[in-house]
Chains A and B, each alone.
Chain A
Amino acid sequence: MIFFDSVKLPSLRSEELLNEIFPKKEGTREAYGETLLELAENDERIVALSADLAVSTKVDKFGKKFPKRFFNMGVAEQNMIDFAGGLAQVGLIPFVSTFAIFASGRAWEQVRSVAHNRFNVKIVATHGGITVGADGATHQANEDIAVMKAIPNMVVIMPADAVETRFMIREIVKYDGPCYVRLSREKFPVIFDHNYRFKLGKAHVVREGKDCVIFACGLMVAHSLCAARMLEEERIKVTVVNVSTIKPIDEETIVKYAKICGRAITVEEHSISGGLGSAVCEVLAQKCPIPVKMLGVKDVFGVSGTAKDLLKYHHLMPEDISQAVISFDS
């Protein structure tokens, strides 16, 4: 890799096409902050915590409105997570927010402890993946899904857009058990409308097509849908599945479309190792072995850049996805 020459990235057709298909963009963390505030109005059990990132994780308004129910724990994530466990132990519902790398990495063992206790803690981690952008490697979590899903009792979910985020946050209040929700820094294209319903544990089939199935999560759902549109021009019809619950994964839907399509692509804003792709492969290898191409960050640390450029740099654009489908057999 050349460090001191500017990296030339082509302008891509999908950049315009995405805006065409999804004219609206909305931040998942903003949607979370708003939803949390709404929920807290009517549910005294909800409390919130952050590790000096209340503003970035959008729980600052919560803190101002409900000062007695908000704990800024400072730059001390390990204590924060177990402390939240203690709050949950007396019957409160703590929403803990910090960046994905700190929530899942710095405090991994504490999350494990929460899971071992089955404390009803909701870890809503923002700034997942490479779209964190210019802050660079230390702040771009590409391993969080891998390390969170390895823990028993954890529910691991990643919404595809702000609409799904709102439903997800409401759903997890009803679920009794520890959750890890991975949100973003960037605003995501809005895919769903008010008719959408999020079901914990259920993968959502956004479009169907027999030639290939694309299992995606987060921002990659929008990118996959854009790729699907581009593939239609080549008369290739693909299924796009939004696997927003990575753990417990919807084995039934995965196997069903594996059988129909015979080949699968997995794509995520995460390492190709250990994340959604691995979760899908764990199912398929055992229940319905078909060829799978895994797209994601190729086992490298992130670098600084704009979100837009980094998505191109790491080959996570709709073109990369459609190319993977087209060249599947080669």
Chain B
Amino acid sequence: MEVISFAMKIDFARSAPKDKRFFHGDNFPCTVVSTKVACIAFLSRVCKIFSMEEAALIPKGERLEDIAQDVRKKVVKMIYLAGSGHPAGSLSCTEVLVALFFRVMRHNPRNPNWEGRDRFVLSKGHGVSALYAVMAKCGYFDEDLLWKFRQLGFPLQGHPDRLILPVLEASTGSLGHGFSIAAGIAAGLKIKGIGANVYTLLGDGEVQEGQVWECAMASAHYKLDNLCAIIDRNDYQIDGKTEEIIGLEPLDEKFKAFGWNILVIDGHNFKEIFKAFDEFKKTKGMPTVIIAKTIKGKGVSIFQGDDGNLRFHGAAPNFEEYKIAMEELGVNSEEL
């Protein structure tokens, strides 16, 4: 019975809470069969709509490097406040996410259901804090929600959950899934004759999952040239360096053998990032993978290296560590 009434329960927004809390009382969780009405109504209640004169997403006077820096500060702060999260792997993919949402993708935070939008799927779901910070900055939802990251009753889940936060394309977290979902979206867009692109971000450890290679084979076979995978090649996974656990190299040659167009770049260099995405857009007949060489924990020294990875792949800094991290990112202790 639950399941059936579930399906009929459409417009979450009609019963939307008066404050910013997503769930109310016993109706946990309030899930949504996403309809345009529900989504926009939800956004209008909970989100601060970007009051922009024009469609450009970059706030006046801010460079992309500044935006990335701001995102890093928010990532560290939100994880610290939550008491848990994945700081290091969220900091390594910051530039790529900023580039995608502020320049590369065609999308409109005020019209998240726009059929022609480019889509982004975070296959490395644990990097979600960076995604939330970027999406909030774009105007998808109120930045105040960031400080309720991972808290019971609030929409920013520990890994992307699209039923609880409908502006996300897919719920991910278990590695490999997002990649396949992205490929399916790409194929579906082609069937529907929609010329949008699908971008998906994977971790490098993630690439050890067999499903990733199933997807790589199928994507090349079905010539999904509207699919762009970016691999956050930060050289680490949970238990240590990828090459010490199960070596991935030569990663570029592997994807090439699977029929992909490969690009290898410095994942923190905006110029190289944009050049790679431009290459992707020009490439026909095969999907593209961008292997972005990055530093896990970029921006915060104590999050980096063997020790940094061990401590900060999947744990929050304590107050002392938080102070040190934020200082390095340019926030004085008094401002915390």
- Asked if A and B are interacting partners, one says yes
B-binding residues in A (CB < 8 A): 47, 68-69, 71, 73-74, 76, 78-79, 81-92, 109-110, 113, 116-118, 153-155, 175-177, 200-201, 247-248, 251
Is B222 an interface position by the 8 A CB rule? yes
Scoring B6, B186, B214 by chain A CB atoms within 10 A of each residue's CB, the highest score goes to: B214
Contact in complex: A153, B181 (CB < 8 Å): no
Total number of residue pairs linking A and B with CB closer than 8 Å: 122
Contact in complex: A89, B181 (CB < 8 Å): yes
Selecting from B169-177, B248-256, B297-305, the interface stretch reads B169-177
Contacts of A78 in B (CB 8 A): 176, 180, 210-211, 214
Scoring A86, A155, A247 by chain B CB atoms within 10 A of each residue's CB, the highest score goes to: A86
Contact in complex: B3, A83 (CB < 8 Å): no
Selecting from B100-108, B130-138, B188-196, B328-336, the interface stretch reads B188-196
Smallest CB gap from A110: residue in B: B177
Contact in complex: A79, B192 (CB < 8 Å): no
Contact in complex: B170, A89 (CB < 8 Å): yes
From known contacts A47-B191, A82-B177, A90-B192, infer whether A177 and B7 are also in contact, taking CB-CB under 8 Å.
Answer: yes
A-binding residues in B (CB < 8 A): 1-4, 6-7, 31, 33, 161-163, 169-172, 174, 176-177, 179-189, 191-192, 194, 210-211, 214-215, 217-218, 222
How many angstroms between the C-alpha atoms of A74 and B174 in the bound complex?
22
Contacts of A83 in B (CB 8 A): 180-181, 183-184, 187, 215, 218
Contact in complex: B181, A85 (CB < 8 Å): yes
Interchain nearest-CB distance for A202 vs B (Å): 10
Contacts of A88 in B (CB 8 A): 184, 188
Identify which of B2, B179, B187 contacts A248 (C-beta below 8 A): B2
A83-B184, A118-B31 known; 15 other A-B pairs, CB under 8 Å?
A73-B214, A73-B218, A74-B214, A78-B211, A79-B211, A83-B183, A83-B187, A86-B181, A88-B188, A89-B181, A89-B188, A117-B171, A153-B3, A247-B3, A248-B3
From known contacts A83-B180, A86-B185, infer whether A118 and B3 are also in contact, taking CB-CB under 8 Å.
Answer: no
Contact in complex: A84, B171 (CB < 8 Å): no
Contact in complex: A89, B169 (CB < 8 Å): yes
Contacts of B182 in A (CB 8 A): 86
Contact in complex: A74, B2 (CB < 8 Å): no
Contacts of B31 in A (CB 8 A): 118
From known contacts A89-B170, A117-B162, A175-B7, infer whether A82 and B181 are also in contact, taking CB-CB under 8 Å.
Answer: yes
How many angstroms between the C-alpha atoms of A83 and B183 in the bound complex?
6
Contact in complex: B3, A176 (CB < 8 Å): no
Smallest CB gap from B215: residue in A: A79
Interchain nearest-CB distance for B13 vs A (Å): 17
Smallest CB gap from A118: residue in B: B163
Contacts of A92 in B (CB 8 A): 188, 191-192
Identify which of A89, A109, A116, A251 contacts B184 (C-beta below 8 A): A89
Interchain nearest-CB distance for B66 vs A (Å): 33
How many angstroms between the C-alpha atoms of A88 and B169 in the bound complex?
12
How many angstroms between the C-alpha atoms of A91 and B172 in the bound complex?
19
Smallest CB gap from B162: residue in A: A117
From known contacts A69-B191, A251-B1, infer whether A117 and B215 are also in contact, taking CB-CB under 8 Å.
Answer: no
Contact in complex: B171, A116 (CB < 8 Å): yes
How many angstroms between the C-alpha atoms of A71 and B188 in the bound complex?
11
